[in-house]
Structure 1
Amino acid sequence: MTTRINTFLLDVGQVLVALDYPAALRSVMRYTQLPGEEISKRMSGNQAVLLYESGKLPTQKFYEITCRLLEMQVSLEDFKRGWGDMFALQTPEGQCISATLFRELKRSYRVVALSNTNEMHWEYLESVFPLIHEFDDYILSFRVGTMKPDPVIYRAALNCAGCAPAEAFFIDDLPVNIQAAEELGIKGILYQGEAQLRADLLRLGLLEPTARL
């Protein structure tokens, strides 16, 4: 690389924190008579999720829409707790980026969260996942008003970090998001587990060879 990388843009879900969709489904089933298959079907076509993650629906409205859609009888507070069950905070070693590798990156780079997320999920992570507070800054879809792979959110991340596209390195678990970043001149790599990421960063000269997990 001819231009020195000074900023890492990190996705959060499935990169720093694992997602547990079955656990989230079980939480919903506590408050509705609908079978799991029907819940999944209705949620897959629920445009309110995209609007909520884009910051175009307030939490109260999203809660009301989802309760009607899934025929749920649940308080807002219990709904929030169940919504947070999507995150698996205890995962097998190497599935997500560890605190060790995260802090190795922090020693040499500015590290910015670049995540499609929503207000409830983010508030939950802030309350239970201490590492989330160690980012240098945050570009979150519900705050920016749009989601990856929209170029707008990548430009917002570059502006936030104060860097050029060639000075940023993006890690995400979805190929479409990597492609969108690279079309803007941001080097990206698909996350496929911590061991593979470490090997890739060493190969690219972005991590010290002496670093250990």
Structure 2
Amino acid sequence: MNIVFDFGGVVFRWHPPSFLARVWPHRVPDLAAAEATAAAFFENYGGDWGAFDQGLIDAPTVVRRIAARTGWPEAEVAAVVAAVPDELQALPGTVALIQELKAAGHRLFYLSNMPEPYAEHLERAHPLRQWFEGGVFSGRVKHSKPREEIYRIAEQRFGVAPQSLLFLDDHPANITAAKARGWQALLFSNAEALRPELRALKLL
């Protein structure tokens, strides 16, 4: 099987409310504030952040736009943007699952909405070439999930038919888009919860 991993929230830690609570404790006193602040900052990965994800604007530009839109000081917004790489810590359970799936003979790839600066950080900080045969970062192809075009690009890059791909992602919209292309797909919550589904498919 050709198994395609999302990165943020699947292979690497990424939960914007708890992230902002750590980076911005003065602005995020409780969970409700964390949820609202994350929604305003990242705009559900549309708007300013979506353009950053797609490589259409750079980090200084996204900082200026978020600050102008929200009224938050540019220096504080820049601190959040700069803190993202340290937040993207590899999830041990998923890393173990990657190693098991590779040992079982499956081909592994990735498809991630990731701005170029963060993609470069992940390539430096983690053995992506050991874990995966290849992958697609949104910031490098100027398209992002759940738009159809990035799935088509992934199919071409991986050189496999849609029906032979199994996609693991933590956002329902991305799962729906993958299935619309003919991919198999499973909604990811954590590695342990995924194991029974993979065993049912005889992949483990």
**Distance in 2 separating the partners of 1:42 and 1:148:** 20
Letter in 2 for 1:13: G
Q: Give the whole-Å Cα distance in 1 for the aligned partners of 2:144 and 2:20.
A: 22
1:71: which partner in 2? Answer: 73
The answer for the alignment partner of 1:81 in structure 2 is 82
Mean CA deviation greater in 63-72 or 169-178: 63-72
> What is the CA deviation profile of residues 46-91 of structure 1, one whole-angstrom value per residue up to 9, with x for unaligned ones?
7210111111112332233334442133696x5653232443x276
Q: Scaled by the length of structure 1, what TM-score is found?
A: 0.76
Provide the rounded CA distance (Å) in 1 between the counterparts of 2:80 and 2:173: 31
Q: Aligned-pair distance for 1:137? A: 0.9
Return 5+ residue gaps in structure 2 as ranges.
none
1:102 aligns to 2:103 (yes or no): no
Matches within 5 A, 1:41-52: 42-45=40-43, 47-52=47-52
The aligned amino acid for 2:119 is W
Q: What is the rounded CA distance, in whole Å, between the counterparts of 1:105 and 1:152 in structure 2?
A: 27
Distance in 2 (CA, whole Å) between partners of 1:119 and 1:27 is 22
Instruction: Provide the residue aligned with 1:200 in structure 2.
Output: 197
Is the CA contact (8 Å cut-off) linking 1:9 and 1:114 kept in structure 2? yes
1:138 match: secondary structure? strand
Q: How far apart are 1:20 and its partner, in Å? A: 3.9
Higher helix share: 2
Determine whether 1:146 maps to 2:143.
yes
Distance 1:152 1:39, change over 3 A: same
Partner of 2:23: 27
How many corresponding residue pairs? 191
Q: What SS does the aligned partner of 1:14 have?
A: coil
Aligned equivalents of 2:189, 2:39: Cα separation in 1:
28
> Cα distance, 1:24 vs. partner?
3.5
Task: Note the residue ranges of structure 1 that are not aligned, 5 or more in a row.
Answer: 208-213
C-alpha separation between the residues in 2 aligned to 1:179 and 1:140?
19
Q: Which one has a bigger Cα radius of gyration?
A: 1
Give the stretch that moved more between structures: 57-66 or 47-56.
Answer: 57-66
C-alpha distance in 2 between matches for 1:52 and 1:64: 12
User: 1:172 touches 1:190 (CA, 8 Å); kept in 2?
Assistant: yes
TM-score by length of 2: 0.79
- Give the share of equivalent positions with the same residue, in percent: 25
Question: Any idea what SS the aligned residue of 2:74 has?
Answer: coil
| SS, match of residue 73 in structure 1 | helix
**Alignment-derived partner of residue 161 in structure 1:** 158
